[in-house]
Amino acid sequence: MGTSNTKLGASNTKMALQVQNLTLNTGREIPAIGFGTGTSFFGRGEDVGALVGHAFQAGITSFDTAVVYGTEGGLGSGLSGLSCPRSSLYITTKTPDWAWTKEEIVEEVEKSLKLLQVTYLDLVLLHTPAPRKGAAFLKKILTDEQIDRLPDPMDAKVMEAKRLSAWQGLEECVEKGFVRDIGVSNFTVHHLQQLLAQPDIKIRPSVNQVELNPYQTDPETYNFCKKEGVLLQAFGPLGNGREMLTDPVLVEISKKKKKTTAQVSLRWAWQLGVATVTKTEKIPRMKEN
């Protein structure tokens, strides 16, 4: 495992601002705002790598990727160009839709470590409670035959067992020193209840990353996670962008507070104790957020 004074890269990129942290149920901290590399960044690793230095200068130290995004290699290249201790960065990735056994999870995490050019990951999430067989992105990665061999997402018993097996793979990654904290993504209350009720789990999820914003509040998941000590992390915190950010209520609040509607939306999440993952290719927006 990397030490706190291990340097990444040799550039003189310096951070201008500092993002505040939230505390996980393990006692470790996670930056309140992270730089996301999914959605429009899918398969654009080089573009991600080129933006890392700008994000860092804007105060971002938390970087979020996933195997299926195809951006781990680009992010790793960008991070390697930063002249800062590894301990000052927070790196998250997510397991792919095709890894559901302990062995497969460990293998995928080891691949991610190599692509990201680090010796440990701060957080790894189970990306989905079931394979997204019909997703367009998956059809670009796997053959039809490979997709057919994935577990049936509609078979509740099979998927409960698969989620447990995958979770135990993440626990093994923690034991091996590959990962510090582990969590889930896109899990409903039902999925979390099932996992937490398993007598064989050793580590409780630290994070549940879900879509959350002023237009999509999901009080059931928010309240359950708060009660169980699982930190909610929001992707899509600015909604679909233009529509939510021109909402009359948000516009009125932003005028009163002399902030942008994006800043108001991110502040809304912060006051709820929710971490956020933002995605922008515009350097001024990085600093603004």
Which of 69, 120, 215, 222 is an active site residue?
69
- Amino acid in the structure at residue 119: T
Query: Collapsing DSSP states into helix, strand and coil, what is residue 92?
Result: strand
Is residue 145 within a helix (H) or strand (E), and if so which, with residue range?
Answer: helix 144-148
Closest by CA position to 145, among listed 82, 100, 98: 98
Nearest by Cα to 277 from 163, 139, 125: 125
Listed in sequence order, the residues at least 6 apart from 221 whose beta carbon sits closer than 8 Å to its beta carbon are 188, 189, 208, 210, 212, 232
Distance of CA 272 to the CA centre of its chain: 18
Indicate if 69 belongs to the active site.
yes
Torsional sign, CA 198, 205, 181, 121 = positive
Query: Any idea what DSSP says for residue 68?
Result: G
H/E segment holding residue 62: strand 62-64
Listed residue (173, 82, 77, 73) closest to 115, CA to CA:
73
Contacts of 56 (CB under 8 A, 6+ apart): 13, 15, 82, 84
CB 276 within 8 A of CB 38: no
**What one-letter code names the amino acid at 277?**
V
CA 131, CA 153: separation in Å to the nearest integer? 6
Q: How do strand 207-211 and strand 275-278 relate by DSSP bridges?
A: unpaired
Which residues belong to the active site? 69
